[in-house]
Amino acid sequence: MTFTQALLEAIESLNGNKMRSGLTVLGIVIGVAAVIAMLAVGNGAQASITGSISSIGTNLLFVFSGVADGPPGGPGRGRSGNNNRPLTLADADAISDPFAAPSVELVAPAIQGNATLTFGGEKSTSTISGVTPAYATVRNLELADGEFLNEEQMLGRMSVVVLGPEVAVSIFGHADGIVGETIRIEGQPFRVIGVLVAKGGGAFGSEDNSAYIPFTTAQARLIKRNSRDEIDVLFVQATTAESVSLASDEISNILRQRHRTPIGIDDFTVFTQQDFLKTFATITGVLTIFLGGIAGISLLVGGIGIMNIMLVSVTERTREIGLRKALGARKKDILLQFLTESSLLSLIGGIIGIMFGWLIAFTVGQVATATGNNFTPIVGTDAIILSTSFSAIIGLFFGIYPASRAANLEPVEALRYE
Q: What is the mean pLDDT of the chain?
A: 77
Closest listed residue to residue 269, CA positions, set 225, 223, 243, 236: 236
Q: How confident is the model at residue 302 (pLDDT cuts 50, 70, 90)?
A: confident
Predicted structure pTM score: 0.59
Parallel, antiparallel, or unpaired: how do β-strands 60-65 and 143-146 relate? unpaired
| 71-104 confidence digits (pLDDT tens) | 444 444 444 444 567 888 888 888 888 888 888 8
Which pLDDT score is estimated for 83? 55
Is residue 108 helix, strand or coil? strand
Least confident of 45-49, 73-77, 169-173: 73-77
Which pLDDT score is estimated for 82? 47
Amino acid at position 369, single letter: T
Which pLDDT score is estimated for 257? 85
Helices 18-54 and 3-16 pack at an angle, to 10 degrees, of 100
Cα separations in angstroms, 329 against 317, 324, 399, 406: 15, 5, 19, 12
Q: What is the C-alpha separation between 74 and 58, in angstroms, rounded?
A: 19
Closest listed residue to residue 140, CA positions, set 213, 207, 46: 207
Long-range Cβ contacts of 410-418 (<8 Å, 24+ apart):
410/322, 411/322, 411/325, 411/326, 412/322, 413/322, 414/318, 414/319, 414/321, 414/322, 414/323, 414/325, 415/319, 415/322, 415/323, 415/326, 416/322, 417/318, 417/319, 417/322
Write down the domain spans for the chain: 3-53+278-415, 85-266
- Rounded to 5 degrees, φ, ψ at 287 are -60, -45
- 36 neighbors 354 (Cβ within 8 angstroms): yes
Closest listed residue to residue 231, CA positions, set 89, 120, 116, 414: 89
Cα separations in angstroms, 115 against 49, 141, 179, 195, 228: 27, 21, 20, 18, 20
Which pLDDT score is estimated for 374? 66
Which pLDDT score is estimated for 212? 92
